[in-house]
Copies of this chain bind each other. A is one copy, B any other.
């Protein structure tokens, strides 16, 4: 287990190092100072490590996938900067968001610029069909925007089905995880079957990761999480938990959850009250189960690949994400 973690951290160091050099200009200062701030914000760097591992699992050299992995990570960070404006979020990974630390205009512009830098970095990729890779990356941009758009639309709906929720979240967060693996697979010279297996693995991991995110918002330790507990509840966000709870609840519980979804609930004591409802309805247990199922499905998808270090690392990664606390 330890060797896997060491190797993961090794890959992450490569990614962080490249992320710190990817911006090669200083001016305009109001552009590149916040842009550097965003890219130095840390994070698990799951997407770029996944690109490297998918490349390796397909039989390629993981170092060939660094530029593409970094590109997906920059793209991911661009979406966070713009989402934070739209969500009026004050902090991200325990630090002030760009629109709070600077202003909204700067945050809009820095996000746009990061998308440009992401493409520039992607285009450094030397292995694989550059048109195919750039197309998949571009579909990622489009899907992630659609996902955010649905997410904002859902905020104004009284109820959302689990199916709608899963569609939205597969676009908003799952897609980038899936393309991380798919692009890595192409760079590594994957066969069609290998590529499909790696995409399937990533889709399952992405879904588990997202349900886990919704779950941790309720049950995590505040300091470990790096943001206040229950933020999703206070915002009336249609999470996997809320969507499922709404389908199960009756009477007073249902009335409370509807007020949460309609953002008309009194905030005082709300997080604790909703958490109790979640427990009573069994949605926390269901979430645990759903996460475990998707993690198992991710592991199963890997069987289509040859046994090598890349594949073993992917197996370990899915397990590690299942056990994460933030």
Contacts and interface: CB of A to CB of B under 8 A. Distances in A.
Interface of A: 28-31, 82, 85-86, 105-106, 108-109, 111-113, 115-117, 119-120, 123, 130-131, 134-135, 138-139, 141-142, 145-146, 148-150, 152-153
A142 B119 CA distance: 10
Contacts of A134: 119, 123, 130, 134
B116 A142 contact: yes
- Which 10 A-B pairs rank lowest in CB-CB distance, beginning with the nearest? A116-B141, A31-B149, A116-B142, A113-B145, A28-B149, A119-B138, A86-B105, A130-B131, A120-B138, A112-B145
A103 to B, nearest CB: 10
B116 A30 contact: no
Nearest to A142: B116
A146 B142 CA distance: 23
Given A29-B153, A109-B148, A116-B138, 17 more contacts: A28-B146, A28-B153, A85-B108, A109-B149, A109-B152, A112-B145, A113-B141, A113-B145, A113-B146, A113-B149, A116-B141, A117-B142, A119-B138, A120-B135, A120-B142, A123-B131, A134-B134
A253 to B, nearest CB: 30
Nearest to A123: B135
A85 B139 CA distance: 25
A86 B108 contact: yes
A109 B123 contact: no
16 contacts: A28-B150, A86-B108, A105-B152, A108-B108, A109-B152, A111-B112, A112-B112, A116-B141, A116-B142, A117-B142, A119-B119, A119-B134, A119-B141, A120-B138, A123-B135, A130-B134
Nearest to A87: B105
B113 A138 contact: no
Contacts of A152: 30, 105-106, 109
Contact of A139 (B86, B120, B141): B120
A291 to B, nearest CB: 27
Contacts of A82: 108-109, 112
Nearest to A152: B105
B86 A146 contact: no
B111 A138 contact: no
